[in-house]
Structures are given as structure tokens and as C-alpha cells.
Amino acid sequence: DAGITQSPRHKVTETGTPVTLRCHQTENHRYMYWYRQDPGHGLRLIHYSYGVKDTDKGEVSDGYSVSRSKTEDFLLTLESATSSQTSVYFCATLQGDRTGELFFGEGSRLTVL
Amino acid sequence: RKEVEQDPGPFNVPEGATVAFNCTYSNSASQSFFWYRQDCRKEPKLLMSVYSSGNEDGRFTAQLNRASQYISLLIRDSKLSDSATYLCVVTPSSNTGKLIFGQGTTLQVKP
């Protein structure tokens, strides 16, 4: 257990509203990730971070921004939510440096109406 | 072409059967390979890493074929509890902090 907490776990919002998902970890892991999971697409990387204030884009970063002001927190923001962003969002941390086991949070289910 | 591709299945097999999944990757310089397991509506969890020489963990065997750019997972003597989605994960060498998932292969083991 890597002590990863995602919040909120469930959220329903309307198109055009901003949404922020929070990932909190207690293991001081350097790397943190945000993935989204949709039927037929599996897990797709949105953004990841390799340290405080160090982030990079993944495969599906359009419409999303992230921030990491502290080692333990990685925030994912949808500036203006769209229905195509309805998904399950998973946060993960990486044990070790670059290679190793990914630990996932329990997921945040977001519905955009 | 996707960086990591898997046959989504589902694979429906009886208890006791042997089943194999393949996963292909497009970046020949990829460095690290893993299999994760995901139960319905749960988060993925590491099943096993895949080493160049192949490796085995109980009923599970993972192999890497760099020449053909695929990894495989073999499950022997399938149990009902093996029913899950199996995700292939690859670390591209261009940025080894970035892990790419295949879409997953669903296995359903029947009594």
C-alpha cells in the first residue's frame, strides 16, 4: 500500500465548469501520474510529474492541466469540463526511480453532463 | 498505430486451462516491461515484471521477444480467481519515467 488518496472519488458536474481532482501520497515518491480509463481505450496517460514543479504531457493532455507544488500532492484540473472528459481517473506513483512498481489510487469517477 | 497493443478478448476458458496473452509494442528502444492485473472497477496492480530471460511466478510465466517486439503472459491451471483484465505496460527509453499501458485483455475463467 503506497498510501495514495484520491479526492473526490465521485463527482458529477456540468459542461463548462472547472474541476480539480487531487492526489495525495504519503510515501515521498518522486514520480506521480494521472491516467484516464475508458472502455476500449484502456489506461491513457494524461500528465505526469518527476518532481516538485516538474511536469510533462502524456498521450491525452489536451484540456487538462496539472500542478505539483509539494511532493505529496498532484492536482489535475479540467479548466472547462466537456462530456468527452467523462471517465475514471487514476492517480499513480512510481516506486523507485524510473522503473519499478506503479501504485494506484482507487480512482475518481467523473461524469460531465 | 498505438504504442502498446493487446487483443482485448474476452478470453473465455474453463478452469484448469492454459491461456496465453500477447502484447506488441512499437518502440524498439523500449526498456522495461510489466504485466498488471485489474479486477472489475478496481485499480490496476502489478502482477509481474518481464525480464529479458523470461521469468516465472507460480502458475504465471512472462516472456519478452525483443526481435519481434512483443511480450507474453502464460497462465497455467487457470483458477476462477484469475478472471480479470490483464494490462501490458511498457517504458519507452526516450523518457523512462513515462509508462504506457495497453488497453488490456479480459480473461473469464468458467467453472
What are the strands of the beta sheet with A73-78, ordered from one edge?
A4-7, A19-25, A73-78, A64-70
Check residue A101 and give its pLDDT: 82
Chain B residues 36-95 with CB within 8 Å of chain A = 36, 42-46, 87, 89, 91, 95
Identify the sign of the CA torsion B71, B77, B82, B84: positive
Answer for the pair A86, A78: CB distance below 8 angstroms, yes or no: no
How confident is the model over B61-70, as pLDDT tens digits? Answer: 999 999 999 9
Residue of A nearest to B102 (CA): A42
Grid cell, residue A43, equals 489506461
How confident is the model over A88-102, as pLDDT tens digits? Answer: 999 999 887 656 688
Nearest CB to A43: which of B8, B96, B101? B101
Residue of B nearest to A107 (CA): B43
Q: Which residues of A touch B (CB under 8 A)?
A: 31, 33, 35, 40-45, 48, 50, 56, 58-59, 90, 94, 98-99, 101-102, 104-107
Grid cell, residue A45, equals 496517460
| Confidence band, pLDDT 50/70/90 cuts, at residue B92 | confident
Grid cell, residue B65, equals 521477444
Strand-pairing partners, residue B6, are B23
Q: Which of A6-15, A32-41, B96-105 has the lowest mean pLDDT?
A: B96-105
Distance in angstroms (rounded) separating the CA atoms of residues B108 and B19: 11
| Statement: residue A78 has pLDDT above 90 | yes
Mean pLDDT of B1-20: 92
Mean pLDDT of B10-36: 93
